[in-house]
Amino acid sequence: MEPADISPETAGEADPCFPRPERLQKILSAHGAASRRGAERMILEGRVTVNGSAARLGQSASVGRDVIAVDGEQLGPRADRVCIMLNKPRGYITTVRDDRGRKTVMELVSGLDVKVYPVGRLDMDSEGLLLLTNDGGFAEIVSHPSYNKVKKYEVRVRGDVPAAVPLLRRPMVIDSHTVCAGSVGILEQTGRGALLSVSVSEGRNRQIRKMCAAAGLDVESLKRVSVGSLDLGTLEPGQWRRLTSDEVRALSGL
- Number of Cα atoms under 13 Å in the Cβ half of residue 17: 4
* 162-187 tens-digit pLDDT: 999 999 999 999 999 999 999 999 99
* 11-69 tens-digit pLDDT: 444 445 556 788 998 888 778 777 778 889 899 999 999 999 999 999 999 887 889 99
DSSP H or E stretch at residue 27: helix 24-30
Percent of the chain with pLDDT over 70: 93
Sketch out the chain's domains with CATH numbers. 22-74 (3.10.290.10), 83-146+230-252 (3.30.70.580), 150-227 (3.30.2350.10)
Q: Model confidence at 126, in pLDDT bands (50, 70, 90)? A: very high
Higher pLDDT pick, 241 / 1: 241
Verdict on whether the full-model pTM lies above 0.85? no
Residues tagged active-site: 123
Query: Is the pLDDT score of 232 beyond 70?
Result: yes
Choose among 78, 67, 69, 63: nearest CA to 31. 78
